[in-house]
Amino acid sequence: MENSNPNHQDNNKARKPGRPGGLGNTNPNQPFNVYWIYAILSMVLIGMFFFGQNKNIKRVDWSDFQEYVNDNRIESVVVYSNKDIAEAKVRPESASYVFGENAGRFGANPFIQVNIPSTQGTSEFLDTVKREKGYDIKVRFDTTSEIWSMLLTFAPFLLIIVFWIWMMRRMQGGPGGAGSGIFSVGKSKAQLFDKDAGPRVTFKDVAGLSEAKEEVQEIVEFLKHPGNYTSLGGKIPKGALLVGPPGTGKTLLAKAVAGEANVPFFSISGSDFVEMFVGVGASRVRDLFRQAKEKSPCIVFIDEIDAVGRARGKNVNFGSNDERENTLNQLLTEMDGFGSNSGVIILAATNRVDILDKALLRAGRFDRQIYVELPDLNDRKDIFKVHLRPIKIDESVDVDFLARQTPGFSGADIANVCNEAALIAARNKKKFVERDDFISAVDRIIGGLEKKNKIITQEEKKAIAIHEAGHATLSWFLEHANPLVKVTIVPRGKALGAAWYLPEERQITTKDQMLDEMCALLGGRAAEELFIGKISSGAMNDLERVTKQAYGMITYLGMSDKLPNLSYYDSSGQEYTFQKPFSESTAELIDAEVKRMIAEQYDRAKELLSRHAEGHGQLARILLEKEIIYAENLEQIFGKRPWASRSQEILQSNEEKPHSEKEVPDTLPLPPVPSE
């Protein structure tokens, strides 16, 4: 089973800075919601409305007021001396008497108002009634404020006006909106990571990527000491394009460049430029470069630039006024227009460099392309050391083994493996993360969850064991086959059984190495035919891979005796749509060569299995009993493997280099010259 893993995004995330000049809460744990303002204002307006309704006042004459006081129908009186007015609160039980049928309209606190002859006369009248009749009437003297009365009268209208002004300023991107309203769609959505806004990301935080870091080091020197280059007539490069698969650390590398140079860092995604409104993308590009010029020297990082940088004329939209093309034109103008962008360096990242517009890739815009490839063996060791720092591991964890176990994994994938291993250990209530936990994490990511409850008959289980034992036996006796790690017959994902290998990361592959790999893949089908007498559908994936590899060897690599040194591979990325680059007779010859090559390796697989049938039988029995075997079990059955893997040779050479550097001759021997 070849190690393959879905890609994941980089786990290293920078801290989001607070919004400069904004009125929102900068605490990410307690975000401020502007809808609370709407709710509060609404409640205030509703409250004032109902409050005003509850205090309806009935005007009465002085004689009626005297009658109500004498009949003990008044609960309290407020005398306003500066206006010769008194307001009296009617007792609830007397409301129907005072207000008649309209008592309900005056609410729970009914009031009456009366013009008094004088303050002193009213005071004497109330004191006399209270003294003679013993009534409990509360009397208070006060003065009214004309300004306060006017405010109470016009307060709802003032609140509505203030609310309307605040909403308009928010929609226009003013204070309180911070550029989030409908009138600010043309504002840039770039996040600013200022040089003084917290801890910086440096090259020490980036494990691996040694070649890429060397290439961007020059950009750092440009930003730190621009005078050293401009004094000689040189120009600061406009930009660099980071190309590589997802999860390899392109964004982290761009942040490290900004951190090393100690300059502001603008980060934006390519999809943030394109909206449904016409002209928004171009406006956002202009606003982004305007902000960058104000902060220069700085770095602008555009992630997934293929969202706006797609080659013009190849979009799905056949309209003449495509918004994406307008955005791209504005970006081209800003990067290489008449204006000077000195001190602003553009870094962009993509994994689809083949679809980018040629005008975007030319010198003067993106001056260089930096390839951020998947980490090799040594880089994976460094990445594992970084992600293992916060994890409690025991002595059984071998970083070299983990690096060999994860070929083709990106930095994000390795971080996911470490996290998954810690979760598995915690699930099993372990105090430390062990080697088996990391192996289980890799198995979980590659193959999926174990399905131990899947119903399999004993005959099917035996067939699976013989099939997987065939793969394991051939991988042990073929020199260039991938070294075995373990074999299991426990269903995992869609597979009923699986064999885990350590794929050799070769920079160049010979024909013999490819043939050994094909022979090992055919080991399962050959074992079924030899030891069961019938074949099954379990070898479908093996046959698919063998067929693709055989066609690739013949049509692309020219590894056929009848079609030597011919390659029909199209490196431009444009597949042959209407016509194949070879004739029908050549196609028949290719098919015949593929059949011959696969048949030869199939016979070779059966011959090797027949020679080691006894060991294969022992291996199958152990699989039926234990359901899983490791490379140590194969060593006990077949003896030590006579060949060391390429990964082991690389690790051993790296350990020996610091102690004894190999001498390199000054001159290399020349090939012999044939005599005439």
User: 639-662 burial by CB neighbour count: b if 16+ within 10 A, else e?
Assistant: eebeeebbbeebbeeeeeeeeeee
Give the dihedral of Cα atoms 328, 330, 331, 335; nearest 10 deg: 140
Report which residue type is found at 496.
Answer: L
Question: Which two three-digit tokens encode residue 568?
Answer: 């029909």
Other beta carbons within 10 Å of 223: 21
Using a 10 angstrom Cβ sphere, with 0-12 exposed, 13-18 middle and 19 or more buried, the burial of residue 197 is: middle
DSSP 464-525: HHHHHHHHHHHHHH-TTSPPEEEEE-S-BTTBS-EEEE-----SS--HHHHHHHHHHHTHHH
Question: Which two three-digit tokens encode residue 59?
Answer: 């005007």
Question: Residue 559: phi, psi to the nearest 5?
Answer: -100, 35
**CA–CA separation, 188 and 280 (whole Å):** 9
**CA–CA separation, 409 and 416 (whole Å):** 10
Q: Are 62 and 116 in contact (CB under 8 A)?
A: yes
CA geometry: angle 540, 550, 592, nearest 5 deg: 100
Active-site residue, from 304, 323, 325, 468: 468
**CA–CA separation, 422 and 439 (whole Å):** 12
Question: Which two three-digit tokens encode residue 274?
Answer: 């394109």
DSSP 615-648: HHHHHHHHHHHHSEEEHHHHHHHH-S-SS--HHH
Place of tokens 């709802």: 156
Number of helices followed by number of strands (H, E) in the chain: 23, 14
Q: Name the nearest CA neighbour of 483 among 653, 655, 651.
A: 651
Using a 10 angstrom Cβ sphere, with 0-12 exposed, 13-18 middle and 19 or more buried, the burial of residue 66 is: middle
**CA–CA separation, 596 and 599 (whole Å):** 5
How far CA 599 is from CA of 23, 113, 481, 532, in Å, comes to: 74, 112, 18, 20
User: 235-257 burial by CB neighbour count: b if 16+ within 10 A, else e?
Assistant: ebbbbbbbbbebbbbbbbbbbbb
3-state SS, one letter per residue, for 315-340: CCCCCCCCHHHHHHHHHHHHHHCCCC
CA geometry: angle 407, 356, 572, nearest 5 deg: 70
Place of tokens 């062990």: 434
Other beta carbons within 10 Å of 7: 14
Q: Are 294 and 341 in contact (CB under 8 A)?
A: no
Using a 10 angstrom Cβ sphere, with 0-12 exposed, 13-18 middle and 19 or more buried, the burial of residue 51 is: exposed
Question: Which two three-digit tokens encode residue 614?
Answer: 């006894």
Q: Are 282 and 274 in contact (CB under 8 A)?
A: no
Give the dihedral of Cα atoms 322, 178, 200, 298; nearest 10 deg: 50
Reply yes or no on whether 575 is catalytic: no
Strand partners, 88: 77, 112
Q: Tell me which residues are annotated as active site.
A: 468
